[in-house]
Amino acid sequence: MSAPFLILETGQPVASMRRHGGFPHWIRVAAGLARDEAVVVDVEHGSELPSRDGFAGTIVTGSGAMVTERADWSERSAEWLREAAHAGMPLLGICYGHQLLAHALGGEVGYHPDGREMGTVELDLQPPAADDPLFAGLPQRFPAQATHLQSVLRPPAGATVLARSVHDACHAFRWGEAAWGLQFHPEFSATHMRGYVNAREEALREEGRCPRRLSRTISATPQARRVLRRFVRHARGH
């Protein structure tokens, strides 16, 4: 049997979407992992971070928390991720996980000066993506689901930016040979994304945006999901 993946659970979906399960379930299904191929550790609620031994790689979920809050569980997780990255463990941070990994490696995370990015956004791959194990061969531009207020404002020293959107200059980065951060959600379906827009309806209206119009622009994002599945294959050495 293949070594399992460790999923660090850093938060819960918005309440209205929890009937579909939590982030680890969404990630596991989207990644094509069987139930026994993933071990979930709920770091947000104080579960102890395990030894790295015996895991094929680690995936860090999204969260409603903010990296800049410097919560104890978050900072402990950042220290664990820093050590894991330097040890060469395959790592994939998603949304909050992307920001936490950047913070752990010395980058800067904060509120984006232009506010919220939400919905199906267009990603533009940067030249280094052509040789990247997760992005090589994907279309130069493809859609992905995103919802966030904070961003990686400055990538870690030595990191390679792989993708950007009109809103966010660092939508994906690689550090070293085996650590990646994705601001977008490769595990989100169009249903997940619409659920998030509905949940944020009031905030969007306060920002002068029409949730109904935004919902109509949401589409499937199969190329984004391929990035997640490629991480799994890459971590297993395929």
For residue range 58-101, list pLDDT tens digits in order.
999 999 999 999 999 999 999 999 999 999 999 999 999 999 99
Q: Is 98 a catalytic residue?
A: no
Question: What is the β-pairing status of strands 91-94 and 179-182?
Answer: parallel
Rounded Cα distance, 90 and 103, in Å: 17
**pLDDT on residue 100:** 98
Between the alpha carbon of residue 74 and those of residues 71, 90, 196, the distances in Å are 5, 19, 23
**pLDDT on residue 198:** 97
SS3 147: strand
DSSP 8-state class, residue 200: T
Between the alpha carbon of residue 203 and those of residues 44, 109, 132, 137, the distances in Å are 25, 22, 37, 37
Q: Is 95 a catalytic residue?
A: yes
The number of angstroms, rounded, from the C-alpha of 58 to the middle of its chain's C-alpha atoms is 12
Pick the catalytic residue from 9, 44, 95, 148. 95
CB 204 within 8 A of CB 211: yes
**Which residue type, as a one-letter code, is found at position 2?**
S
pTM score, whole prediction = 0.97
Q: Is 210 a catalytic residue?
A: no
The mean pLDDT value for 167-195 works out to 98
List 150's β-bridge partners, or say none.
111
Within a 10 A sphere around the Cβ of 19, how many other Cβ atoms? Answer: 8
Pick the catalytic residue from 98, 103, 148, 185. 185
| Confidence tier at 16 by pLDDT (50, 70, 90) | very high
CB-facing half-sphere around the CA of 197: CA atoms within 13 A: 24
Q: CATH number of the domain at 88, please.
A: 3.40.50.880
User: What are the helix (H) ranges across 44-163?
Assistant: 72-86, 96-104
The set of residues, in sequence order, having a beta carbon less than 8 Å from that of 165 and lying 6+ positions away, is 117, 121, 122, 123, 124, 146, 171
Rounded Cα distance, 231 and 30, in Å: 12
Answer whether residue 14 shows pLDDT above 80.
yes
- Maximum C-alpha span of the chain: 52
User: Tokens 């622009």 correspond to what residue?
Assistant: 217
pLDDT digits (tens, 9 = 90+) for 106-129: 999 999 999 999 999 999 999 999
The mean pLDDT value for 220-236 works out to 98
| Confidence tier at 220 by pLDDT (50, 70, 90) | very high
| Confidence tier at 2 by pLDDT (50, 70, 90) | confident
Which residue range forms the structural domain that includes residue 215?
5-235
Answer whether residue 225 shows pLDDT above 90.
yes
The mean pLDDT value for 210-233 works out to 98
Looking at the 3D structure of the chain, how many domains does it have?
A: 1
Answer whether residue 238 shows pLDDT above 80.
no
Residue percentage of the chain with pLDDT more than 90: 99
Q: In the β-sheet with 141-148, what is the strand arrangement from edge to edge?
A: 38-42, 5-9, 57-60, 91-94, 179-182, 172-175, 160-164, 117-125, 141-148
Burial class (CB in 10 A: 0-12, 13-18, 19+), 230: buried
Pick the catalytic residue from 148, 167, 187, 192. 187
